[in-house]
Chain A
């Protein structure tokens, strides 16, 4: 069955909030009930049919089209189903989502996957500040699930993150992993300081760190020391499908350096700095 398609009407102006409009709540709805589903435009009541052109299809599989930068809370609170967004999208993408998957074929605004509880979010472009962080009025950030960002990430990525996996293919702005509680954050590109301020636990993998980080260390963290961690193969196997292909192939042949911090707050978060081996002897990662 085709995907249910929602195309934002070009005449609509203002912020559209799709809070509560998710596939798992539409499974049993008739077409008329879908059309009358309440949403908000600039905090004023509206219905789906006033804002979107709806093409009927599978209730559990949605496609969103149009200029969606003004569209907020796409997939927020979703428990199952999947959404493909064929454009850039606004703030609060998949905020508090508990299951299912969301794929954005463009950029996402602030608070993407904030307080995520489960499921998978893939953003093929860049993402705004506070991705995987705590949503407003929440004390904790992402608590489970997976967030994959193919582009760059803005400030405060994964701050107060509690659990789950975040992979960023591009660069990351300052403040990532601030007050991180647990979970895994892997960054394939460059990262701006400060990193991991107030980090309590959790794992931050810098897969292409600046040379200065390897030589001089990270502020608030123990000096980088070479390590061989039995757990790394398990972790890298989990991440391998989400990494750029070139990196996934060579990551098994790497040296790793480990820092612990933020020691200013007696934290035991770990930052693993990858150093590529120029002439690898053998590959050990993911033999399957």
Chain B
């Protein structure tokens, strides 16, 4: 298959099951809401080393936030409900509670709960106030700029992490241009985040390592500098590969994000030396979800 002359490899991208939650962070204005969201989703690129994967999903207009203020929706993904709760409480406590004027609310409804205000309330040292509004409990924690409002809990849902595609280009500049185009398009898709810096990982990994302590190591098959010393998967002429990684709430959302991302990359990529698109295929060892590129792009 080719799109605009760019080869699309007949392979699939592997992804694995995760659990996810959405939070709505509001603040006095967009600036502070975004600062809090960026802070709490920082150092959350991979569950391997960060405990969770997180990112800004979208901005939420004041008409759609619980308190009528500008808001940011963030998604957090982790491997278990327990780890997710630990990360939510830690990150909201350190990054949202501390940010001037912010409040935090549940961004999804469901039966499986993740503690939010119910844990953070203890910061109030006994001065915290619980209020029920329309059947939901909120905690009001006195802070130096007034009060921090946190909903009692949020909910979590089963989700998918690690959806991906690889951009194979003649040069790093060309690969970056293609990825930037893909990210611009993918950021419009709801229910997904791209947790790596700018949505892109240059240190794609393979499962396992020669060192027993490591579960993952550099994906040598896509490293151009190892072309002659390892079993390379890079087509001739490719000088740089970048991986776009997608976490989403369901398969359809990830597939949709992959589709618009690949199409956007291919639309401009030819001008910048884009040679091909492939998927992170680990022979079925990584995860149960397989996103076949040709099917997605039909």
Contact = CB atoms under 8 A, between A and B. Distances in A.
Interface in A224-277: 227-231, 233-235, 237-238, 268, 270
A184 interface: yes
B131 A231 contact: yes
B213 interface: no
A229 B127 contact: no
A138 interface: no
A52 to B, nearest CB: 35
A163 B69 CA distance: 26
Contacts of B51: none
Contacts of A14: none
Given A182-B130, A235-B131, A284 B68 contact: yes
Contact of A230 (B63, B132, B146): B146
A230 B148 CA distance: 7
A287 interface: yes
A234 B147 CA distance: 13
Given A201-B129, A235-B133, A287-B63, A229 B147 contact: yes
Contacts of A287: 62-63, 68
Contact of A231 (B101, B134, B147): B147
Interface in B120-158: 127, 129-134, 138, 140, 146-149
Contacts of B140: 229-231
A234 B149 contact: yes
A230 B149 contact: yes
Contacts of B147: 229-231
A137 interface: no
A286 interface: yes
B83 interface: no
A284 B101 CA distance: 15
A94 B264 CA distance: 63
B9 interface: no
Instruction: Indicate the member of B63, B103, B131 with the most A CB atoms within 10 Å.
Output: B131
Interface in B81-137: 101, 103, 127, 129-134
B129 A270 contact: yes
Interface string B53-64: 000000000110
Contact of B69 (A201, A233, A238): A233
A285 B134 CA distance: 17
Contacts of B130: 182
A139 interface: no
B92 to A, nearest CB: 15
A203 interface: yes
Contact of B146 (A203, A227, A285): A227
B101 A288 contact: no
Contacts of A286: 68
A234 B146 contact: no
B10 interface: no
Interface residues on A, range: 20 to 34
A234 B63 contact: no
Interface string B208-240: 000000000000000000000000000000000
Contacts of A270: 129
Contacts of B129: 201, 268, 270
A234 B132 contact: no
Nearest to A203: B131
B138 A234 contact: yes
B187 to A, nearest CB: 25
Nearest to B61: A287
B66 interface: yes
Contacts of B131: 184, 203, 231, 235
B120 to A, nearest CB: 14
A229 B133 contact: no
A227 B101 CA distance: 13
A234 B67 contact: yes
A286 B66 CA distance: 9
A235 B140 CA distance: 12
Contacts of B148: 230
A238 B133 CA distance: 7
A228 B133 contact: no
Nearest to B145: A228
B100 to A, nearest CB: 11
Nearest to A164: B132
A51 to B, nearest CB: 37
Interface in A173-210: 182, 184, 201, 203
Contacts of B101: 230
Interface of A: 144, 163-164, 182, 184, 201, 203, 227-231, 233-235, 237-238, 268, 270, 284-288
26 contacts: A163-B132, A164-B132, A182-B130, A184-B131, A201-B129, A227-B146, A228-B146, A229-B140, A229-B146, A229-B147, A230-B67, A230-B101, A230-B140, A230-B148, A231-B67, A231-B131, A231-B138, A231-B140, A231-B147, A231-B149, A233-B67, A233-B69, A235-B131, A268-B129, A287-B62, A288-B63
